[in-house]
């Protein structure tokens, strides 16, 4: 199951991001196209990651299928005992894979998760290492300010991807989410419903700008047999 990142990790991430912002320097017009391009790439990465996680097969025969299809109460001692038996047998990465699949039959659970739980794994495994790497690059080389801004926007879009996905599954969101939807900077729940209706398209969940490209990649990947239907549910 997903966990919030420990607070020293969050503090280090905030510090590292602030340092990167300082490296970006004085704003100029190039920041705007750079930020928009990075906002597209963040959407694309969210889409490709989502596609891979949905279709990557889980370890078969260890009970993940029973957890997935469990019919009774998910608060029962029977369910919790099963979960405690099965989950330690898979890696933290595979737990994330399971979470993506588990999202399809139970979509609203993602929206109910606390903010720091939604973004915890992404920060720990991706955003913090990337942000620290950018710190080092800026220290070692003269990276142009607009490029640093693009990297920061990409980091922000990537870090918040699961949060943005969660907002598509809940009614009460901060005003900024609604404002960004009106501007087309974030996608709408109606647009995301296309994914849940088919599980074969529109994997990107930030703003959906990259979905035409992600859908083309999906078509190619299924035709070539890189992704297979059987990976959608644990067995």
Residues of this chain that interact with Zn ion (CB under 5 A) are 54
Instruction: Name the residue with the smallest CB distance to Zn ion.
Output: 54
> Could you tell me the smallest distance in angstroms from the CB atom of residue 195 to Zn ion?
6
**Nearest approach, Cβ of residue 77 and Zn ion (Å):** 29
CB-based contact 46:204 (threshold 8 Å): yes
Q: Which is nearer to Zn ion, 138 or 204 (CB)?
A: 204
Q: How far is the CB of 127 from Zn ion (least distance, A)?
A: 21
Q: Which of 198, 206, 205, 186 is nearest to 222 (CA)?
A: 198
Is 44 in contact with 204 (CB distance < 8 Å)? Answer: yes
In angstroms, the CA 40 to CA 34 distance is 10
Query: Residue ranges of the alpha helices (H) in 25-91?
Result: 31-55, 64-68, 77-86
What is d(CA 66, CA 79) in angstroms, rounded to the nearest whole number?
9
The residue among 16 and 103 lying less far from Zn ion, judged by its C-beta, is: 103
Which residue's CB is nearer to Zn ion, number 133 or number 193?
Answer: 193
Tell the smallest beta-carbon distance from residue 95 to Zn ion (Å): 16
Cβ-based nearer residue to Zn ion, 43 or 54: 54
Query: What angle, rounded to 10 degrees, do the helices at 145-159 and 7-24 form?
Result: 150
């Amino acid at each position: 199951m997903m966990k919030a990142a420990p607070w020293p990790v969050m503090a280090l991430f905030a510090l590292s991001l602030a340092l990167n912002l300082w490296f970006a320097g004085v704003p100029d017009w190039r920041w705007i196209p750079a930020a928009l391009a990075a906002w597209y790439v963040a959407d694309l990465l969210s889409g490709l990651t989502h596609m891979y996680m949905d279709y990557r097969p889980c370890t078969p025969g260890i009970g993940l299928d029973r957890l997935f299809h469990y019919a009774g109460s998910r608060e029962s001692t029977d369910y919790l005992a099963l979960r405690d038996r099965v989950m330690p047998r898979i890696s933290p990465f595979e737990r994330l894979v399971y979470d993506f699949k588990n999202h399809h039959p139970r979509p609203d659970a993602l929206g109910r998760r606390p903010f720091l739980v939604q973004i915890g794994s992404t920060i720990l495994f991706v955003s913090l290492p990337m942000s620290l790497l950018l710190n080092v690059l800026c220290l070692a080389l003269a990276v142009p300010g607009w490029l640093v801004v693009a990297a920061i926007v990409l980091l922000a879009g990537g870090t918040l991807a699961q949060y943005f996905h969660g907002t598509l599954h809940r009614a009460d969101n901060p005003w900024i989410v609604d404002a960004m939807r009106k501007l087309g900077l974030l996608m709408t729940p109606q647009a995301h419903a296309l994914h849940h209706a088919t599980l074969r398209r529109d994997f990107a969940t930030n703003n959906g700008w990259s979905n035409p490209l992600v859908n083309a990649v999906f078509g190619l990947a299924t035709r070539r047999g890189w992704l297979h239907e059987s990976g959608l549910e644990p067995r």
